[in-house]
Amino acid sequence: MTELFRGVGVALVTLFDEGGRADAAATGALAGDLAGRGMRAVLACGTTGEAQVLSDAERAEIIEAVRSAVPPGVPVLAGTGAATTQRAVELTTGAVGAGADAVLAWPPPGCADLQEYFAAIAAAADQHAVLAYHIPWVSAPGVPVADLENLPVAGVKDSSGDPDRLLDEIVNYSGATYVGSSALLALAGPTGAAGAILALANLEPERCSAAFAGDGSAQLGLAEAHLAVRHGGPPALKRLLAAARGLSAVSRPS
């Protein structure tokens, strides 16, 4: 299948105002700025975007704002993974209707039939690309590498942080592999991953791109922020963004 994009994309935060309301305009402005700084794709309403606390109307508004803010050549992905197939289909239909170019979906925890699940999403996506999302702490056990080849997906985002699994994907899976861990960029890029979709790219887009290109010093320079975000999730990332750029640090309780 044709790769959705090559290089580094951002798993976008969702910005909330001081009253806890989703700020689609500010979120879109951040996406536009990051695209201007070299991000090759933008993922809206993913796990970094705190999608679990967004209403369907808020998701649509954010996707629309992001799609309007970034150039046409930069694909906008939307997170549509869910605990049931029916809910994932609803989210996928809504995302495509709001202007997403592709969707990223984790399967229900313990999913017994990945083929059926992703086939339903692919049908709802209506010829838009689908990426499988391997994120085992959200959706255990995730998506086994051996199953990827038989799924109706264009590629996989792997946020496990497991270098052995990453190499398995690159060597044994013919679809596009996008690394989701900013700890593995200097491994992923030089060994043939198609790209990366990163939370840390909200804060360090240029350094993430340099690390993916094989710059070991850039990879090391990401370490402190990577570890903070790895342990603290979106709230920690938002605190770093607030300190660096004055953006809102507000998160909603999940």
Q: CA triplet 139, 144, 149: central angle to 5 degrees?
A: 125
Count of CB atoms situated within 10 Å of the CB of 113: 12
Q: For residues 142 and 134, is the Cβ–Cβ distance under 8 A?
A: yes
Helix (H/G/I), strand (E/B), else coil: 155 = strand
CA atoms within 13 A on the CB side of 73: 6
Residue whose tokens read 């990827």? 148
Does the annotation mark 133 as catalytic? yes
117, 157, 178, 238: the catalytic one is 157
Alpha-helical segments (H) within 23-55: 24-36
Give every CB contact of residue 76 below 8 A, 6+ residues apart in sequence: 31, 41, 42, 43, 44, 63, 66, 67, 70, 99, 100, 101, 102
117, 133, 178, 238: the catalytic one is 133
Q: Specify the DSSP class assigned to residue 10.
A: E
Q: Specify the DSSP class assigned to residue 80.
A: -
Residue 240: C-alpha distances to residues 35, 36, 164, 167, 213 (Å) = 19, 20, 30, 31, 24
Helix (H/G/I), strand (E/B), else coil: 102 = strand
- Which backbone phi and psi does 80 adopt, to 5 degrees? -135, 15
* Residues known to be catalytic: 133, 157
